[in-house]
Every structure is written in structure tokens, then in C-alpha cells.
Amino acid sequence: MSIVRNQVLFVLALVSAAALALTGFVTHAPNRLVSGRALALWHAAPVTAAAALAGGVLALLVVSLLPQSRPVRWGAAAIGSALILLTLDAAGQVAAGLIDPAHPAARTALGAAAWVLVLCAALAVVDAMQRLGAGPLLRSIVAAGVVAAVGALLASGRLDALSFLREYANQRDAFARELVRHMALVAAALVPALAIGMPLGVAVARRPRLGQGVYAGLNLLQTIPSVALFGLLIAPLSALAAAFPVLAAVGVQGIGFFPAMLALVLYALLPVVRNTQAGLMGVDAAVVEAARGMGLTERQIFWRVEGPLALPVVLAGVRIVLVQTIGLAVVAALIGAGGLGTFVFQGIGQYATNLVLLGAVPTIVLALAADLAMRTLVELAERRRSP
Amino acid sequence: MIELRDVVKAYGGRRVVDGVSFVVEPGQVCALIGASGSGKTTLLKMVNRLIAATSGSIRVAGRDIRDERPEMLRRRIGYVVQSFGLFPHWTVEDNIATVPRLLAWPEERVGARVRELLTLLRLDVEEYRGKYPHELSGGQQQRVGVARALAADPELLLMDEPFGALDPVTRAGLRAEFARIHATTGKTILFVTHDMDEALELADVIAVIENGRLVQFGTSREIVERPATEFVRDLIGRAEIGLKRLAVQRVGERMQRGKVDGRGPAIEASSTLREALAHMLAQHTDRLLVRDDSGAVVGSIDLAELVRSP
């Protein structure tokens, strides 16, 4: 009989403790291009901050040994959330303490221990929500709460000394611009993908023969690596724009926003078509026949019966596409489309890890937020359905 | 109410319905019976044009069904499918209101009709109106399916194996309900079954279909007393044919009026002879008193009387 009541939490607490004991909490470097020296929590952080973190990890360990009642699980979620904030705040304090006016180029970044701690704390929250049987709606609320708290911490200025935020300070205007551009690119790709993919999915559901050709084409597109597809579009689109000035006038060109959008649309089609078809095929044939037998017209059957019943599966497809497009849009920066990928590729070019993070972390947050929001929508659409 | 004349349905060269003609009078219950794949369900679906006839004509209430748009035809014919086919994303009320709303009834009239039908089908109005189909048992779903079919007061009700997806106990209960609803509404009903007992119990007339052909059409009594072919005999069940014959006659037709001397077990005049026989076996007696609807003893029936040929 094990005394550990929650193995997941137990392992997370142990990993956190080991990371704190064995690896650097922050790294300190003389400038942004060289890799820094790792500083352990005990050496670098104020005693109160270090004690708070150690206490948080210990609390997770203790909770993993308690009988798992609902209050205990909520407790684990609360400790996990607090630990995320405490870790970031401690790193901010360390970085502030290391500021030296004689070395303005010196940078302090999150070290391995800090990353591991944030990750484990986040997983502890996810684990607690799962064990609580929380639906997407409740998860969204909790996630929004944690994100808002982290946002408040960022806004408070307590983390400003960290390398990541110093990159942000340098890029403040560019960041806002590229973030908006990233979202615009995703939206611009999503709308035509749905407008083309959904009717195509309906057509394929009605005529399975048609499906063979459509899927052959779409599957082929999926196998082309994204970098290659972006590259492949340059030549034909440039030629088109050159041959037809009208097209050039509406934005068709070899590089930039248009080819990026086009490539993202092409990648998005397969999940949309497949899920639309699957959703329609999944509607009980007896229900459709009953509808027809009642005297609904074909149009009424589609809009009132088949469509609503297929909706959860279609929305699941939209979720996949949204997350996929947010991620792929990073690569679009390579062909001059802008977006958060700009920082990623600049960072790679300059060996500046924290500049890469400035592009990558918001992309991940955006994708996770989109995922959770869509899951919530799917749940709401499914709520009243029969199993 | 329904007239079929030389109705044929061919897929490729194969005739799944082959020259079927019969007439169902208004208010009658007609069973379409046959083995699986005999074409009986196809025939049923041809009446509301879910399947188009290859040749021949079908008239409902005197009008050829090809003379109006299929949607319009279907809105005046109730339709109940085997696996209920309730719309899972709509409440019981919305399901029942389907056709009235298609016909653009005013909303108060729709609400009143829903309450009326739930009451007719013995489902508590306030409890069930807002429920979703997955919250109901199979029997309740089928009741809602029947209520939905009756909603716009159709002239004719088509039912595709209406009790096929139910357990035996629920099925027996719903059969009784079916008889009661027919008695209350007086609708003409055409239903498909593969169960001869069900057909004998519920139908006034029975159409026996074999390989797409109508092999016999007649009243329940004609079918059991003079089966036209070996196939019909098989459907009735060879060994039980005597019992089936008893099942289509009432005690009231055979009893001896006024012979009420003595005491003993009694049975209702409206019971079938088969029930009377079962009662005699259970009570170890060869004679039963007969009561009328009011419970007064009006006659008696004995075993010799019961087994005499009609």
C-alpha cells in the first residue's frame, strides 16, 4: 500500500525539488549573445523568495500524500498557480538584484530550474483540473485567471529586469505590430479555409466518389513541408502578378502576406473537409429519414437537422485548424509575411535565445488559448446531445 | 383511404415490389407482414414517396400521390420509424411540434396540441415537455415518436416496425396503447411488422408480402382460417394455427347467453377465445362464466363450445 495518493503530483514535486537543488535558477551573461553562467536559487535569490519557492514545492509534495478530496485537489490547483507566480517573481527579483550600471549589456534570463518549476506547477494545475473532472468552461476560467495573474505580474514591472522583458522593451512597438499581424494572418487564412472547406466537406459527404480525388489532393498538400510550400508559391505567384497587373493590385505577389495566407489556407483545408464530412456522416440515418418523412425539405433537413448535429465535429475541425495555423504562421515570417515568427528568425539569426522566446512564447499562449476556447465551444454545442 | 394499384419497384432488373394492389378503408388498421427483405418496408415508404414507384399508382384519400409535392404529401401523413428517429438536439416539445411548425400553425395552437398529445400518450406534460430524447427510455421515445406523427392530425399514419426496437414487456404495453390510440383517434394506420401475433392483435386487415408479391390480403380471421399459401401458414406458425384462430375470436361471439347457473371463475366477453382457453387451463376447469363490460354475468362458455369448429 503506497502512501502516495497522487503519483502525478508526487513526481512533479520531486522533479521540481531536484531541479531547484541541481540546476541554475537563472543564468547571468555579460551580454545577450553569449551563454550565461547558471546561478542556483540559494546563491542568487533573497531568502524570503527562496523560502517561498521551497515551501511551495514542499506543499505540493505534502498534498500528493493526502487523501484526494475535492478541497485537496483545489488546494493543489491553488498551490500550482501560486508557484508559477512565485517562480517568475523570484526570477524578477534576482535579475533586479544583478543589475549593475557598469555593465548595461549584462542579461539575466530564466534558468533551467525556473523553467522546470513553471512547467511542473502548470502541470500540477492541469492534473488537478482533470481530477476534478472540470469541463472546458471551468478550465478556461482557471486558465484565464492564471494568465491574467501572470499578465498583472508582467505589467507591474517586477519582472522588467529579466532578459526576456528587456528584449520586449527593445521591441515594444514591433511586438504589438507583429502580434496583430500574426492574428490577422491566422484570421485571413481561416475565413477562406472554412468558406471553401465546409462546402467541400458537404459535397464529399454527399458523393463519396468525389472524396477520393479531393482527399488525394489534400493529403498530398499536407505532405509538403511548410517551408517548401512557402518557397514553392513564390515563383508562380510572382509570375501571375507580373502577367496580370489586376492581381498585383489586389495584393497577389510572390512574397509577403498573400502567399503566406494561401499556403495556410491550403494546409487548413484537409482538417476542415474531413471533419465536416465526418460530422455529416455521423448523423443517424434514421433521424434524417424521419425528418424527410415528416415533410422537411432537403434544405430544411440540412440546416435544421444535419448541420446542428454535425456541428460539434465540425467545430473540433476548426479547433485543429486554428491551433495548426497559429503555429504554422510562424514560418510565414520567412517569406516576409511578418507575424511573431519575425522575432523567432531574428533571434535565431542573432543567437539571441530570449528574442526567439519573445516570438515563441506568445505563439504557444495564443495556440493554447485558441485550443481551450474552441474546446469550450465544442462542449457547449455538445451539451444537450444524446450519447 | 389508401389504394394501391399494380405498384412496382424495380432496382436494375430486380423487382423488390412486384405488382401489389390492395385497398385500405378509412379508419382501418392494415398490417404489412412478410419476411426480412420481402419488400414490405419499401412498399410502406412508397406511400409517402420516400421511395418512388417504378410503375403503378398509389392514391391517398382519393388523390394520386404524384399530384403534389412530396413535402406537402408527407406533412399530411404521419410517419413513425423503427428506431424512433427523434431529433436528438430538440426537446420533446420541439420534436412533437415539427410538422405543426412546418405548417406554420400559430404558436399557442402548437403548444396546446403538444399538451393534448402528451396527455393522450400518458406522458406528464410538465415533466416531459422540456426533456431531450436521450433522457427518455425506449418506450417513452417511441411514444414521443407516435405523438410527433400524430401532431398535425394526419389522415393516415405510416409505421415502420413501430415496436421492433423495444423489449418484450415495453412492446406489450405499447401494443395496448396502440389499440387505445386507434380507438380514440380513428386514424387509418398502415404498419410494417414481421410478427404475425402483432398483426393479428392490432390489424383489421393484413397484407402478406412474399418476395415483393402480395400473396394474401384479408381480415385477420380470413388469414388464420384460410391461409392462401404454405408461406402464410408458416408465418402463422403451423403447430399453433389452432391457437391463432382462437386469438381472433371473442368470447362474446361463442358464449351461451343466459346460462348463468352455478358459480366459478369468470372472464370478460371482450376477451379472445385464446385467453379463455388459457384461463380454463390455469383454473383447471372446463367452464367459465362470462361478464359484460359492466361486470354483470351474462352467460357462460365451456370447453366443448370453444374447440368446436367455427
Cell of A191: 475565413
Residue B298 has pLDDT above 70, yes or no: yes
Q: How far apart are CA B60 and CA B30, in angstroms?
A: 14
Chain A CB contacts of B48 below 8 Å? 293
Give the pLDDT band of residue B310 (cuts 50, 70, 90): low
A308 interfaces chain B, CB cutoff of 8 Å:
yes
Q: How far apart are CA A292 and CA B51, in angstroms?
A: 11
Looking at residue A79, its pLDDT comes to: 94
Residue B41 has pLDDT above 60, yes or no: yes
Contacts 24+ apart (CB under 8 A), A377-381: A377/A315, A378/A136, A378/A312, A378/A315, A378/A316, A378/A319, A379/A135, A379/A136, A379/A137, A380/A137, A381/A311, A381/A312, A381/A315
Q: How many Cβ contacts (< 8 angstroms) between chains A and B?
A: 68
Put simply, the answer to whether A386 touches B158 (Cβ < 8 Å) is: no
For chain B, helix, strand, coil in percent to 5 are: 40, 25, 30
DSSP B147-181: HHHHTT--SEEEEESTTTTS-HHHHHHHHHHHHHH
Q: What is the DSSP letter of A38?
A: E
Q: How far apart are CA A193 and CA A325, in angstroms?
A: 11
Looking at residue A385, its pLDDT comes to: 56
Q: What is the DSSP letter of B56?
A: E
Class of A172-382 per CATH?
mainly alpha
Which candidate in B42, B68, B72, B87 is best for mutational testing of the A interface (most A CBs within 10 A)? B87
Domain residue spans of chain A:
7-162, 172-382
Q: What tens digit of pLDDT does each residue of B75-90 get?
A: 999 999 888 789 999 9
For B271, phi and psi rounded to 5 degrees? -70, 160
Q: Nearest CB to A294: which of B88, B98, B134?
A: B98
Residue A190 has pLDDT above 50, yes or no: yes
Chain B residue nearest residue A387, CA to CA = B134
Put simply, the answer to whether B79 touches A384 (Cβ < 8 Å) is: no
Residues constituting chain B:
310
DSSP A183-207: HHHHHHHHHHHHHHHHHHHHHHHH-
A386 interfaces chain B, CB cutoff of 8 Å:
yes
Amino acid letter, B297: V
Q: Rounded mean pLDDT of chain A?
A: 89
Give the pLDDT band of residue B93 (cuts 50, 70, 90): very high
Question: Which residues, at least 6 apart from A247, have a Cβ–Cβ distance to it below 8 Å?
Answer: A240, A241
Q: Measuring CA to CA, which residue among B90, B84, B59 is closest to residue B137?
A: B84
Residue B154 has pLDDT above 60, yes or no: yes
A301 interfaces chain B, CB cutoff of 8 Å:
no
Q: Nearest CB to A286: which of B85, B98, B102?
A: B85
Domains of chain B plus CATH, in order, are 2-244 (3.40.50.300), 249-307 (3.90.1280.20)
Q: How far apart are CA B58 and CA B48, in angstroms?
A: 10
Put simply, the answer to whether B83 touches A308 (Cβ < 8 Å) is: no
End-to-end alpha-carbon separation of chain B, Å?
31
Looking at residue A387, its pLDDT comes to: 41
Looking at residue A38, its pLDDT comes to: 87
Mean of the pLDDT values across residues A292-315? 92
Q: Decide which of A148 and A137 is more confident.
A: A148
Q: Rounded mean pLDDT of chain B?
A: 87
For A40, phi and psi rounded to 5 degrees? -75, 155
Mean of the pLDDT values across residues B101-120? 91
Per DSSP bridges, beta strands A37-39 and A26-29 are antiparallel
Mean of the pLDDT values across residues A20-47? 85
Residue B145 has pLDDT above 80, yes or no: yes
Mean of the pLDDT values across residues A330-341? 88
For A175, phi and psi rounded to 5 degrees? -60, -50
Put simply, the answer to whether A289 touches B85 (Cβ < 8 Å) is: yes
Among A133-142, B17-26, B44-53, B171-180, the least confident range: B171-180
A289 interfaces chain B, CB cutoff of 8 Å:
yes
Chain A CB contacts of B98 below 8 Å? 291, 294, 296
CA distance to A22, A25, A52, A54, A378, per residue, from A18 (Å): 6, 12, 16, 11, 39
CA distance to A185, A295, A322, A365, A376, per residue, from A191 (Å): 10, 34, 11, 22, 20
Residue B309 has pLDDT above 80, yes or no: no
Which candidate in A294, A300, A313 is best for mutational testing of the B interface (most B CBs within 10 A)? A294
Q: C-alpha A177: how far from its chain's center? A: 19
Min Cα separation A276/chain B (Å): 18
Give the pLDDT band of residue A384 (cuts 50, 70, 90): low
Q: Nearest CB to A386: which of B75, B81, B88?
A: B88
Which candidate in B49, B71, B141 is best for mutational testing of the A interface (most A CBs within 10 A)? B71
Looking at residue A234, its pLDDT comes to: 84
Q: How far apart are CA B129 and CA B126, in angstroms?
A: 6
Put simply, the answer to whether A295 touches B132 (Cβ < 8 Å) is: no
Looking at residue B259, its pLDDT comes to: 66
Q: What tens digit of pLDDT does each residue of A153-187 get?
A: 998 988 888 888 888 888 888 899 999 999 999 99
- Grouping H, G, I as helix, E, B as strand and the rest as coil, residue A341 is helix
Residue A137 has pLDDT above 80, yes or no: yes
Min Cα separation B52/chain A (Å): 13
Per DSSP bridges, beta strands B77-80 and B156-160 are parallel
Chain B CB contacts of A292 below 8 Å? 50, 74
Q: How far apart are CA B21 and CA A332, in angstroms?
A: 70
pTM beyond 0.95: the answer is: no
Cell of A341: 515568427
Contacts 24+ apart (CB under 8 A), A30-36: A30/A103, A30/A105, A30/A106, A31/A105, A31/A106, A31/A107, A32/A105, A32/A107, A32/A163, A32/A167, A32/A350, A32/A352, A32/A354, A32/A355, A33/A350, A33/A351, A33/A352, A36/A107, A36/A108, A36/A109
